[in-house]
A and B are shown apart, each in its own frame.
Chain A
Amino acid sequence: MKNVEDMLREMSLKTPSREFEASMERAFRDAAARPASWRDHPVRLWNCVLACGLCALIAFALGLATVLPYALSSHRESIVYLIPHQGPAERNVFDAVPNAPLKPRESKPWTVWRGEARVEPATDSAS
């Protein structure tokens, strides 16, 4: 007595029709000839969004890393000198006169604050 699985394998099966084969071949040919859609492009919209978000995050982190040491240090007053023409003295001028031309920075070099005492840079006359 044969095994039932062997008997099943020996049975002949119905095959698909020729018309069906031709229509499947046509479907594959049409699909291969179809021009690429924008959806098929490897660079997706969400890739651009992700890249922009990442860049913004990095820029923000770099900016924060630049400013934060000044802001957190004991010499907090120094931070105003990082922004040109926005020192404590100049700000009052701008507030009082709108659209006033920018006042050029004073010719003397950076003024360094150390705690409460203001240390003026050494000049030739002082020496």
Chain B
Amino acid sequence: MIGWLRWECLCFRIGWTQQHDGGQNVQNPVVEKLREFYEVHRQDLFTYALSLTGCRYAAEDAIQNAFCNLLRRGKAPEDLRPYVFRCVRNAAVDLLRSTQREAATDSIFEILNGQSAPIPLPVQHEIEHLMQQLSEEERETILLKVYSGMTFKEIATVRGVSINTAASWYRRGIQKLQDSIQEDP
């Protein structure tokens, strides 16, 4: 018993976690989990943060702040996706509040011109314009659903609303876009 306690104290002092393996210092599982999540979802997170802040640099700052807080906290829930997106959202709101400025209006879309563009240039501009016309809730819900592939339950968790509310935001936003595009083909 005393021997085990001394061994535990020694491991603790030199900074090993419980999963020490043959004397090798293994990676923190929470850090690894967050890193893997970031590798997979970095584009989705950036798009979401950019839609919230409207500024590339503020979006990057928000993501970095959110992940620094998560890493410092050292805990990660099982269902990581809505949790991290919500953290990024909170960080973006905090950033805008601390700098006391309104969200800028940078678009999330990279307008492509030429042969590589999958959609004609005027249509791209139109979609970009229409997305800016949507309300903040509708725009966010569409981004999370279309680009991040989230379920309405996850979107509801991110936004802190009911599932029905998230679904109605999405349907209303898509309907508005559809109607505007059909009006002006």
Contact of A32 among B31, B119, B142 (CB under 8 A): B31
Q: Is the CB of B64 within 8 A of A1?
A: no
Contact of A31 among B15, B28, B47, B147 (CB under 8 A): B28
- A20 sits at the interface (CB 8 A): yes
A74→B151 CA distance, assembly (Å): 72
Contact of B181 among A4, A11, A28 (CB under 8 A): A4
Q: Is the CB of A28 within 8 A of B17?
A: no
A42→B46 CA distance, assembly (Å): 35
A4-B178, A28-B34, A28-B71 known; A11+B17 contact, CB < 8 A: no
Return the chain A residue nearest B26 by Cβ: A32
Q: Is the CB of B119 within 8 A of A11?
A: yes
- A14 sits at the interface (CB 8 A): yes
Q: Is the CB of A13 within 8 A of B123?
A: no
Query: Can you list, as one digit per residue, whether each of A1-40 has a CB less than 8 Å from chain B (1) or not (0)?
Result: 1001101111111111100110110011001100110111
Q: Measuring CB to CB, which residues of chain B are less than 8 angstroms from any residue of chain A? A: 8, 12, 15-18, 27-28, 31-32, 34-35, 38, 42-43, 46-47, 50, 56, 59-60, 63-64, 67-68, 71-72, 74, 106-112, 117-119, 123-124, 127-128, 142, 146-147, 174, 177-178, 181-182, 185
